[in-house]
Structure formats: structure tokens, C-alpha cells
Structure 1
């Protein structure tokens, strides 16, 4: 059985300009806008905002 399209896989890219990405799932019903997470960027060696890319 296929996975539900309610929780699609999204890539979140670092805003520090390093090109580092995380892959996660999000609930479209609760978060219809683009996802913004504050996570650790190992290239920049600090916590930065990661924004969803399409």
C-alpha cells in the first residue's frame, strides 16, 4: 500500500547558504504553509533556520 499524501516527504535546506539539507515529513492539514525549522547545520557548525523547498 502506498504512503498517504497527507504526510509528504519534504526537504528543508539551510538558510546559511551551505547547501546542507534534512529530509522530514510534514502534515499538510496542520502545516499548509512552508515548513521552517531551527536545526543544526554541521557545515556552518551552528543552529540555523531551515526552510522547506519544493
Structure 2
């Protein structure tokens, strides 16, 4: 039960507007704010910023 509370599953959505998303886990203790990562978007064929959805 502690696993789900400490490291929840989050969806990262592309800011390029292509609808591409990644699913990952994050640590609430280390990253209490929304996660922002620069990852590869296969539809846009380039690295773009992905932001956490809630």
C-alpha cells in the first residue's frame, strides 16, 4: 500500500499537440510539483517537452 502512495503512476503528455504520452512513476518526496521532462515524440520526430497530467 505504501508503494502506491509514495511513487504514483503519472502520465506525461507532449506539449507539441500530437497526443503522444509516456507513462512513468515519480517520487512525491523528491518531486512534489508537476514533472516536466524533455523526451522524444515519435509523431513530431523530435525531442519536445512533456508535462505531467493529473
What's the TM-score bracket when you normalise by the shorter of the two chains? over 0.9
Q: TM-score of the superposition, structure 2-length normalised? A: 0.94
1:1-54 aligned within 5 A = 2=1, 4=3, 5-54=5-54
Cα RMSD of the aligned pairs, angstroms, is 1.0
- Equivalent residues, number: 53
Name the CA distance, whole Å, in 1 between partners of 2:9 and 2:24. Answer: 6
Where in structure 1 do 4 or more consecutive aligned residues deviate above 6 Å?
Answer: none
Name the CA distance, whole Å, in 2 between partners of 1:30 and 1:42. Answer: 29
Name the CA distance, whole Å, in 2 between partners of 1:50 and 1:13. Answer: 5
Unpaired runs of 5+ in structure 2? none
